[in-house]
Amino acid sequence: MAESAGTVETKYYFFDGSFRLESDALLENMVIAYETYGNLNSEDDNAVLICHALSGDAHAAGYHPGEQKPGWWDDMIGPGKAFDTEKYFVICSNILGGCKGSTGPASIYKETGEPYGLTFPVITISDMVNAQKLLIDYLGIKKILTVAGGSMGGMQGLQWSISYPEMVQSCIPIATTYKHSAQQIAFDEVGRQAIMSDPRWENGDYYGKEHPFGGLSVARMIGHITYMSDTSMEQKFGRALKKKEYGYDFTQEFEVEGYLRHRGNNFIQRFDANSYLYITKAMDYFDIQKNHSLFRAFQYIKKTKFLVIAFSSDWLYPSYQSREIVKACKMNGIDVTYCEISSDYGHDAFLIEFPEETKLITHFLEKVKNDLVYAKK
Amino acid sequence: MAESAGTVETKYYFFDGSFRLESDALLENMVIAYETYGNLNSEDDNAVLICHALSGDAHAAGYHPGEQKPGWWDDMIGPGKAFDTEKYFVICSNILGGCKGSTGPASIYKETGEPYGLTFPVITISDMVNAQKLLIDYLGIKKILTVAGGSMGGMQGLQWSISYPEMVQSCIPIATTYKHSAQQIAFDEVGRQAIMSDPRWENGDYYGKEHPFGGLSVARMIGHITYMSDTSMEQKFGRALKKKEYGYDFTQEFEVEGYLRHRGNNFIQRFDANSYLYITKAMDYFDIQKNHSLFRAFQYIKKTKFLVIAFSSDWLYPSYQSREIVKACKMNGIDVTYCEISSDYGHDAFLIEFPEETKLITHFLEKVKNDLVYAKK
C-alpha cells in the first residue's frame, strides 16, 4: 500500500563561492532550497534526483507541518511508490532563478540590500543543473541512480546526462523536448509580454509595490490552455455555463473561463512575475544540440540508460520530440526505452497518469539497480 | 489571367429603425459598412456574400484609392478568380460590433454623444447575420448564390443557412466550427483578460485617453500562435536569432519573438480593444445547436448546397469539427461536399492556400449556378 513520505521540511544549501553562469556572469551567495526523502545507503547507489517544471518547487512529496496539501509529485514519491523512499534517497531542489527558496530575481542582492529584479543575470537550464550539481556534491553523492522529471524537469534530466555522463546512471525525461521549438518559444514570449506590458511591472522593479498581477495571471492562463488538451477541456468543461443562461456581459460565464481565472488568481499568490520571465527564458534557450546535431549531443554518453515517456495528447511537448531523443540515443548505441502513454490529459498527463508512470518507472529503476549490482560483481 | 477588382470604396448603409438583438436589447442608428465588386445581374441570381473573420473588414478585394495593399481576400475575389467578379456580384460588409465602419463599441452613442464603450450591447453571430440581412434587403437582393467565409466568416455562413434557408442557395464554410469548443473559448477568454487586466482599459472607457495597447497586443500575439501550426512556425522561424548570439536579456532575440511583437504592434494601430472583446464573445456564444443536436439544427435546410473546407494542420478549428457539419448535412439529406486541404499553414491556410480553394470553389459555384438554371427551366 502506497503511503506518504510523511512530514518533511525544506532545507537550504548555501554556496559561498562565486557561481559562474553560462553567460559568464558571476552569482554570489547562491542559495539552493531542497528536500530529501528516504536515506542514502552505504553503497551510495540509491540517489534519485527529481527535477521540477516551471511552477514547481523543492517540495515534491510528503507534507509540510500543518499543511493539508502534499508535495507536487506526491503520487510518485513515497514508500511503495514509483520513487520508493524505502529503497531510494530522493532529492528535489528548487531551480536557480525560482522563487521558492533558491536564489532568484526576488532575492536580495547583497551589494544593494534590494531585490535583484532585472539585475539578476539571465540563466539557462545548464546553470540550473550546475547549481544542482553543487548541492549533490555537498550531500556527498558521487553517483545518481536516476535523474527524472517532466516538462522543464525533463530538460534538466537531459542536461544532467550530457553535462555529467559519468555521474548519471539513468535518466527519465517525461513529456519534454531536446530543444524549445518556435511554437514553444512563442507561447513563452506571449506570457512574458503579458507580464512586461503590465504597467505595474515597472521594468522588474515592483517589489514592495503593487505587483504585475494582471500580466502574471494572463501568462498563467495561457500556460494552462497549453497544459490541457482539446479533448480534456471538452470533457471537463464543454460549453457548460456557471449560470443558467447567457448573461450577455463580460463576467465569467462559461465554466472554462472561471477555471482559467481561478488558476490565474491562485498563481499570482504564490509565484514571482520576474521568476516567470527568467525561467521561461531559460527554457527558450534550451537546445541540447548547441549548433550541432542531436546525434552529437549524446555522443559522450556511454552507460546512462534512458526511459523516455511521452503522452499521446500532449501538444505542448508533442511525442515526436521525445522520439527524436530516442532516435539519437539509439544511433549512439545508448540503452533507451520509449513509452508513449495514451492519455487525453495533454501535457498535464505527467502529473496525472501516475499508475502507468509508476509501473514503467518501478521496473526501469529495478533493472538499472540490478545491472549496477551485476556490473560491480 | 486573374486581375484585380480595381479601385473600390467602402459604402455605408444606415438603418434608421430599431434593431433588436438576440439578447433582446435594441440598437438604434445602426450603420453597416460594405463594399461590392461586380454587378448584380437582371435575374438577381449572382449575389455572393463574403463574411470576414475576427480582424477582417468590408474591404475584401481591390484597392482603396492611393493604397498599395489590396483587400484581405484579394487572391480570391476579382476577375477570373474563385469569386469571379465578371460573373458574380460580390458583397462584403464589416460585422456589427466591428471597428471598421459598422456600428460597434467605439461608435458614438447618440444619447450621450460619447462612444458606447461597454454600454454597447453584447452581440452574437446571429445578430451579425441579421444586420447583414438588412443590408442584403436594402441592396434589393432576394436570393444569395452563396455565403462564404473562413473562421468566424464560416460561422456567419452557417448561421445564414439556418436563419434564412430559403434565401441561401449555397454555403461555403471554411476552417470553421458549428460551436465554439472549451479550448476555443479559453483562448478567447485569455485574450479578453489580457485587455481587461490592462489598467489603461478602464472598464472600456478609454476613448480620448491612452488605449489598452499592451493588453490588445498580447491578445493578438496569442491569436497569431493559434493561427499558425507547429510545423509552419518551425519552418518559418525555427530557433533563428535576430542577432548572432544569445544576448542573455529580455529583448527580442528569436525571430519568432520579433514576428509576434511586430504583429501585435501592427494590430493595435488598426483595431479597437473593445471590439476585440465583443467579437470574441460573439464567437464564444456561437453554438448552432442551441441546446439541441447538430442534426436538428440543419433540419429546415432543404435546397442549400454546402462545400465544407478544412485544413489538415488547423488546430484552432480542427477538421473533425468540419466533419461534424458534413455528417449533420448528410443525415438531413443535404447536398454537401467536403474537402480537407493538406497544408502546413494551420488556421491561416484559408488566407494562403488560394490555388486549391479557387479550384474547389470555382467548380462548386458553377454547379450551383447550373443547377439553379436547370431548376428554373
CATH label of the domain that carries residue A253: 1.10.1740.110
CA neighbor of B181 nearest in space, from B295, B336, B322, B298 = B322
Percent of chain A with pLDDT over 90: 95
Domain boundary among A281, A297, A322: A281
How far does the CA of residue B233 sit from the closest CA of chain A (Å)? 6
Span A151-183, pLDDT tens digits? 999 999 999 999 999 999 999 999 999 999 999
Contact B185 A239 (CB under 8 A): yes
Residue type, B254: F
How far does the CA of residue A233 sit from the closest CA of chain B (Å)? 6
Give the total number of structural domains in chain A: 2
How far does the CA of residue B329 sit from the closest CA of chain A (Å)? 22
Note which residues in 323-342 of chain A have CB less than 8 A from chain B: none
Helix or strand (DSSP H, E) at B317: none
Domain boundary among B250, B281, B312: B281
Contact A183 B230 (CB under 8 A): yes
Query: Pairing mode, if any, of strands A30-37 and A89-93?
Result: antiparallel
Query: If pLDDT is split at 50, 70 and 90, which confidence band does A377 have?
Result: confident
Helix or strand (DSSP H, E) at B36: strand B30-37
Cα–Cα dist A129/A124, whole Å = 9
Query: Pairing mode, if any, of strands A336-341 and A305-311?
Result: parallel
> What residues have CB less than 8 Å from B46, skipping those under 6 apart?
B38, B40, B87, B88, B89, B145, B369
Return the residue of B nearest to A255 by Cα: B182
Q: What angle, rounded to 10 degrees, do the helices at B152-163 and B125-138 form? A: 70
Helix (H, G, I), strand (E, B) or coil at B21: coil
Cα–Cα dist B306/B326, whole Å = 8
Residue B253 domain-assigned (yes or no) = yes
**B160 in Cβ contact with B307 (< 8 Å):** no
pLDDT for the residue B373: 82
Cα–Cα dist A241/A258, whole Å = 9
Contact B234 A183 (CB under 8 A): yes
pLDDT for the residue A129: 98
Taking residues B351-361, report their average pLDDT. 97
Residue type, B347: H
Residue B17, judged by CB atoms within 10 A of its CB (0-12, 13-18, 19+), counts as: exposed
E strands present in B86-162: 89-93, 108-109, 114-115, 146-150
Residue B5 domain-assigned (yes or no) = no
Residue B4 domain-assigned (yes or no) = no
Say if residue A139 is in the same domain as residue A73.
yes
Say if residue A209 is in the same domain as residue A141.
no
Chain B residues in contact with A186 by the CB 8 A cut-off are 221, 224-225, 233, 256-257, 260
Q: Does A237 lie at the interface with B, CB-CB under 8 angstroms? A: yes
Cell of B272: 479597437
**Integer angstrom CA distances of residue A54 from A119, A151, A154, A220, B181:** 21, 8, 11, 11, 27
**Predicted confidence (pLDDT) at residue B84 exceeds the cutoff of 90:** yes
Say if residue A65 is in the same domain as residue A207.
no
Catalytic residue among B4, B126, B151, B229: B151
Contact B190 A249 (CB under 8 A): no
Residue type, A269: Q
Span B143-159, pLDDT tens digits? 999 999 999 999 999 99
**Predicted confidence (pLDDT) at residue B182 exceeds the cutoff of 80:** yes
pLDDT for the residue B375: 82
Residue B370 domain-assigned (yes or no) = yes
Span B188-242, pLDDT tens digits? 999 999 999 999 999 999 999 999 999 999 999 999 999 999 999 999 999 999 9
Sequential DSSP letters for A112-167: TTEE-GGGSPP--HHHHHHHHHHHHHHTT---BSEEEEETHHHHHHHHHHHHSTTT
Contact B250 A179 (CB under 8 A): no
**Integer angstrom CA distances of residue B366 from A155, A202, B88, B90:** 55, 60, 11, 15
Say if residue B163 is in the same domain as residue B195.
no
Q: Which residue shows C-alpha cell 535518466? A: A171
CA neighbor of B178 nearest in space, from B52, B299, B305, B325 = B325
Residue B115 domain-assigned (yes or no) = yes
Say if residue B59 is in the same domain as residue B135.
yes
A25, A190, A248 ranked by CB distance to B225: nearest:
A190
For chain B, what's the residue count?
377
Percent of chain B with pLDDT over 90: 95
Say if residue B141 is in the same domain as residue B228.
no
User: Does A151 participate in catalysis according to the annotation?
Assistant: yes
Cα–Cα dist A303/A169, whole Å = 7
Say if residue B197 is in the same domain as residue B85.
no
Task: Provide the residue range defining the domain that includes B163.
Answer: 11-179+287-376
**Integer angstrom CA distances of residue A263 from A216, A217, A347, B89:** 11, 8, 16, 50
Q: Does A279 lie at the interface with B, CB-CB under 8 angstroms? A: no
Say if residue B21 is in the same domain as residue B107.
yes
pLDDT for the residue A208: 96
Residue B6 domain-assigned (yes or no) = no
Give CB contacts under 8 A, 24+ apart, made by A135-139: A135/A13, A135/A32, A135/A34, A135/A91, A135/A93, A136/A47, A136/A49, A136/A91, A136/A167, A138/A13, A138/A15, A139/A36, A139/A40, A139/A47, A139/A91
A194, A284, A318 ranked by CB distance to B194: nearest:
A194
Domain boundary among A237, A259, A281: A281
Query: Pairing mode, if any, of strands A30-37 and A26-27?
Result: unpaired
Query: If pLDDT is split at 50, 70 and 90, which confidence band does B114 have?
Result: very high
**B310 in Cβ contact with B323 (< 8 Å):** yes
Cα–Cα dist A140/A137, whole Å = 5
Taking residues B360-371, report their average pLDDT. 96
Global pTM value: 0.97
CATH number, domain of B342, equals 3.40.50.1820
DSSP state of A369: H
User: Does A313 participate in catalysis according to the annotation?
Assistant: no
Residue A255 domain-assigned (yes or no) = yes
Percent of chain B with pLDDT over 70: 99
Say if residue A101 is in the same domain as residue A236.
no
**Predicted confidence (pLDDT) at residue B1 exceeds the cutoff of 80:** no
Region of poorest pLDDT, from A47-61, A336-350, A360-374:
A360-374
Contact A187 B228 (CB under 8 A): no
B179, B186, B237 ranked by CB distance to A256: nearest:
B186
Cell of A44: 551510495
Say if residue A215 is in the same domain as residue A357.
no
Query: If pLDDT is split at 50, 70 and 90, which confidence band does B2 have?
Result: low
> How many Cβ contacts (< 8 angstroms) between chains A and B?
159
Query: If pLDDT is split at 50, 70 and 90, which confidence band does B58 have?
Result: very high
**Predicted confidence (pLDDT) at residue A2 exceeds the cutoff of 70:** no
Say if residue A150 is in the same domain as residue A173.
yes
Mean pLDDT score across all residues of chain A: 96
Cα–Cα dist A290/A79, whole Å = 39
**Predicted confidence (pLDDT) at residue A374 exceeds the cutoff of 90:** no
User: Does B170 participate in catalysis according to the annotation?
Assistant: no
Helix (H, G, I), strand (E, B) or coil at B79: coil
Region of poorest pLDDT, from A276-290, B216-230, B264-278, B363-377:
B363-377
Contact A182 B25 (CB under 8 A): no
Cα–Cα dist B132/B138, whole Å = 10
Span A118-158, pLDDT tens digits? 999 999 999 999 999 999 999 999 999 999 999 999 999 99
Say if residue A313 is in the same domain as residue A247.
no
Q: Does B356 lie at the interface with A, CB-CB under 8 angstroms? A: no
Instruction: Note the ipTM here.
Output: 0.96
Residue A3 domain-assigned (yes or no) = no
